[in-house]
Amino acid sequence: MSLRLHDSLTRRLRPFEPVEPGRVRMYTCGPTVYDRAHIGNFRAFTWEDLLRRYLRFKGYEVEQVMNLTDVDDRTIAAARARGVSLAEVTDPVIEMFLEDWRTLGLEEPEHVPRATRHVPGMIRLIEVLSARGLTYETEGSVYFAIGRFPEYGRLAGIDAAEVATVGRASGDEEYDKDDPRDFVLWKGGDRGGEGAVAAWESPWGTGRPGWHLECSAMAMHYLGETLDIHAGGVDNLFPHHTNEIAQSEGATGKTFSKFWLHAEHLLVEGRKMSKSLGNCFTIPELTARGHAPSAIRHLLLSGHYRTQLNFTFEGLEASARAVTRLHEFRRRLRAAIEAGVGRGDGAANLGTLAGRSRDAFEAAMDDDLNVSEALSAVFGLVREANQTLDVRRPHAPSGAEAVLAVIDAFDRVFGVLALRDLESAGADEGLVEWARARVGDRERARANREFARADAIRAELEARGVVVEDLADLTRLRVGSHTVLVPRVPR
Ligand code: AMP
Ligand code: ZN
pLDDT per 10-residue tile (average), the chain, 491 residues: 95 98 98 96 98 98 98 96 97 98 97 98 98 96 95 87 62 65 93 91 97 97 98 96 97 98 96 87 95 97 98 97 95 85 63 95 98 97 90 70 95 97 87 90 92 93 86 84 79 62
Distance 43 CA to ligand 1 centre (A): 8
Phi, psi of 106 (to 5 degrees): -80, 140
Nearest CA to ligand 1 atom 8: 41
How far apart are the C-alpha atoms of 52 and 50, rounded to whole Å? 5
Return the closest-CA partner of residue 356 out of 331, 390, 385, 330: 385
pLDDT at 171: 54
Ligand located closest to 115 CA: 2
- Taking the C-alpha atoms of residue 476 and residue 104, their distance in angstroms, rounded to an integer, is 35
Which ligand 1 atom sits closest to the C-alpha of 43?
A: 21
Which ligand has its closest atom nearest to the C-alpha of 210? 2
| Per-residue pLDDT, 396 | 61
**pLDDT for 157:** 87
Residue pair 381/406 in contact (Cβ under 8 Å)? The answer is yes
Distance from the alpha carbon of residue 347 to the mean position of ligand 1, in angstroms: 51
Rg (CA), the chain: 28
pLDDT at res. 346: 57
Rounded to the nearest whole angstrom, what is the distance from the C-alpha of residue 243 to the centroid of ligand 2? Answer: 10
Other C-beta atoms within 10 Å of 433: how many?
A: 12
Q: Indicate which residue's Cα is closest to atom 18 of ligand 1.
A: 40
Give the model's pLDDT for residue 454. Answer: 93
The residues near 326 (Cβ < 8 Å, ≥ 6 apart) are 378, 379, 382, 407, 416, 417, 420
Mutating to test ligand 1, I would choose from 27, 34, 38, 41 the residue with most ligand atoms within 8 A of its C-beta, which is 41
Helices (H), 58-197: 73-82, 86-103, 119-131, 163-166
DSSP string, 14-64: EE---SBTTEEEEEE---BTTS---HHHHHHHHHHHHHHHHHHHTT-EEEE
CA 173 to chain centre: 34
Ligand closest in space to the Cα of 262: 1
pLDDT of residue 169: 56
Q: Which pLDDT does position 167 carry in this prediction?
A: 52
For residue 316, how far is its CA from the centre of ligand 2 (angstroms)?
Answer: 30
The reported pLDDT for the residue numbered 107 is 98
Looking at ligand 1, which atom is closest to the CA of residue 231? Answer: 10
Q: Which residues line ligand 1 (CB under 6 A)?
A: 29, 31-32, 40-41, 43-44, 232-233, 235-236, 265-266, 273
Degrees, nearest 5: CA angle 415-416-417: 100
Nearest CA to ligand 1 atom 15: 41
Distances (CA, A) of 33 to 16, 46, 90, 240, 466: 32, 17, 5, 17, 45
Question: 3-state DSSP call for residue 13?
Answer: strand
Our mutation pick for probing the ligand 1 site, out of 8, 51, 97, 235, counting the most ligand atoms within 8 A of Cβ, is 235
CA dihedral 234, 240, 245, 246 (to 10 degrees): 140
Q: How many whole angstroms from 121 Cα to the centroid of ligand 2?
A: 15
pLDDT at 299: 98
Ligand 2: centre distance to CA 173 (Å)? 20
Ligand 1 atom with least separation from CA of 41: 8
pLDDT, position 393: 59
**Whose atoms come closest to the Cα of 67: which ligand?**
2
At residue 350, what are phi and psi to the nearest 5 degrees?
Answer: -65, -20
